[in-house]
DNA sequence: GCTTTTTAGCCCG
DNA sequence: CGGGCTAAAAAGC
């Protein structure tokens, strides 16, 4: 497994790759190594707001439920948000269960968990709310 | 399997 | 603005 970290205006980001698949993305973590240049460029362009979709291959590990939630995130259009509650209704589950699944998301940004917000608050985020705000800002969401 | 714990939410006073 | 509540999934047994 190869990991490489990059520095953004919100702190550093560590991306891990295995056999050409991205397996993990972590905030505020540095790591030493190099990953596929194309993957890195895609991600950086996304963070710059130049690119709106991520097409690299990923390898996902999680429970069936978690995967269901994570893939559902990819149906939220760029620049849009949804509440935990509405997503829960859509998937026939509860808001808190959604929160649990999002917390366990190994590939934030690729699975855009930052597009899920609370009804009357921002909700939480792995790596801190600053990241969430930054990502939403880049996508042009009104906070 | 059943029971306990945990939760990045929600609603109501 | 706090407290209490709830449902559901994961962890533990």
| pLDDT single digits (tens) A81-133 | 999 999 999 999 999 999 999 999 999 999 999 999 999 899 999 999 999 99
User: Tens digits of per-residue pLDDT, A19-42?
Assistant: 999 999 999 999 999 999 999 999
pTM of the model: 0.95
Nucleotide of closest approach to A92 (CA, C1'): C8
Nucleotide of closest approach to A101 (CA, C1'): C9
Q: Residue A142 — very low, low, confident or very high, per pLDDT cuts 50/70/90?
A: confident
Contact A126, A99 (CB under 8 A): no
- pLDDT of the residue at A75: 97
Q: To the nearest whole number, what is the mean pLDDT of chain A? A: 96
Contact A76, A112 (CB under 8 A): yes
Q: Where are the alpha helices (DSSP H) in chain A?
A: 37-48, 64-73, 84-91, 95-103, 129-138
- pLDDT of the residue at A8: 95
* CA-to-C1' span, A25 to B12 (A): 39
* CA-to-C1' span, A20 to B8 (A): 30
């Amino acid at each position: 497994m190869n990991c490489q970290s990059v520095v953004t205006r919100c702190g550093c980001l560590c991306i891990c790759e295995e056999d050409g698949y991205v397996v993990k993305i972590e905030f505020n973590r540095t790591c030493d190594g190099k990953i596929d240049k194309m993957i890195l460029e895609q991600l950086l362009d996304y963070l710059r707001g130049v690119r709106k979709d991520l097409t690299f291959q990923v390898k996902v590990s999680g429970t069936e439920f978690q995967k269901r939630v994570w893939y559902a995130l990819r149906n939220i259009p760029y620049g849009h948000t949804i509440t935990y509650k509405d997503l829960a209704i859509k998937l026939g589950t509860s808001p808190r269960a959604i929160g649990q699944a999002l917390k366990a998301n190994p590939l934030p940004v690729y699975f855009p968990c930052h597009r899920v917000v609370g009804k009357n608050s921002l909700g939480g985020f792995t790596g801190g709310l600053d990241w969430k705000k930054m990502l939403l800002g880049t996508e042009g969401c009104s906070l």
